[in-house]
Amino acid sequence: MLTSRLAAALAIALAVCAWSASAALVVDTGTPPGGPTGASLYNEQSLGASFVVPVATTITLVEGFMRSTYGGALTVKLYAGAPGGSPLYTFAREVPATFDPRWESFGALAWAVQAGTYTLAFEPTTFSGYMTSPAPRPLDDEWNQTFNRPWTKIGGVDGLGIRVHVTAVPEPATWWLMASALGLAAATRLEYRRLNPWSGRCGSRPPPCP
């Protein structure tokens, strides 16, 4: 009985650990240096970067590493594929003026996305500042838009600091671990019923041994 309970507890623990260990960041470029240089971000220049979502999920929070020189309204937009046209989602907020660069958060979001390539764009209205660079792990495809001209791909020149948070999605190895844990629980239950055939059944029990 004790062995069965321990095995079942182990199976549950494995399943919980497998789920909690799944990553919740689909993009993390790392934190750029906090120096005085970077890509300008103001009402005449927007910045963006493309990234890949491997499986269907929900984006819950996006962040950009920047310095807000004067503060103001800043909108983040999510485009399917390259930027331009109508965005899939938008979120706007007032960003206060800051002396030092820092991560600015935009959320809580509920942006449901399928597997594919997307572009996250930072489009100021009254915001004025810059995104410091370069990030340690910049995205390969970055974009800028100046004076309402079409978006231009600039590669990874600016090295923008970006984070994209998503709901936890187990990776294939995690699914395997969870399936193994559930299989262990089922096998434990079958073994217990084999050793205790009358457990949980209605009707007469076999007579006790003489």
Reported as a single tens digit per residue, the pLDDT across 99-128 is 899 999 998 999 999 999 999 999 999 999
Residues 135 and 151 in one domain: yes
In the predicted model, what is the mean pLDDT of residues 180-184?
Answer: 57
Domain count, the chain: 2
Residues 6 and 36 in one domain: no
What token pair was written down for 68?
Answer: 């807000």
Q: pLDDT tens-digit profile of 25-74?
A: 999 999 998 877 889 999 999 999 999 999 999 999 999 999 999 999 99
Domain, as residue range, for 9:
2-20+170-195
Residues 7 and 41 in one domain: no
Torsion angle of C-alpha atoms 106, 108, 112, 117, degrees rounded to 10: 20
Residues 118 and 189 in one domain: no
Residues 58 and 139 in one domain: yes
- Structural domain includes residue 12: yes
Residues 86 and 134 in one domain: yes
- Structural domain includes residue 208: no
- Residue 72 CA to residue 129 CA, distance in Å, equals 9
Q: Which residues pair with 106 in a beta bridge?
A: 62
- Structural domain includes residue 185: yes
Residues 130 and 91 in one domain: yes
> What is the helix, strand, coil percentage profile of the chain, to 5?
20, 40, 40
- Structural domain includes residue 132: yes
pLDDT recorded at residue 188: 63
pLDDT recorded at residue 8: 44
In the predicted model, what is the mean pLDDT of residues 136-142?
Answer: 95
In the chain the first and final C-alpha atoms are separated, in Å, by 24
In the predicted model, what is the mean pLDDT of residues 182-200?
Answer: 61
Q: pTM of the full predicted structure?
A: 0.72
pLDDT recorded at residue 170: 54
Which is it for the CA torsion 96, 97, 100, 103, positive or negative? positive
Residues 48 and 10 in one domain: no
Residues 152 and 106 in one domain: yes
Q: Are 80 and 121 in contact (CB under 8 A)?
A: no
β-pairing verdict for 102-106 and 45-53: unpaired
Residues 30 and 11 in one domain: no
Residues 155 and 186 in one domain: no
Residue 175: is its pLDDT beyond 50?
no
Of 12-21, 130-139, 151-160, 179-188, give the lowest mean pLDDT range.
12-21
- Structural domain includes residue 205: no
CATH code (residue 63): 2.60.120
Name the percent of the chain lying above pLDDT 90.
Answer: 61
Residues 47 and 76 in one domain: yes
Q: pLDDT tens-digit profile of 13-28?
A: 444 444 444 549 999 9
Quote the strand ranges of the chain, DSSP E: 25-28, 38-41, 45-53, 57-68, 72-80, 89-95, 102-106, 111-113, 116-124, 129-132, 142-146, 152-155, 162-166
Residue 12 pLDDT level (bands cut at 50, 70, 90): very low
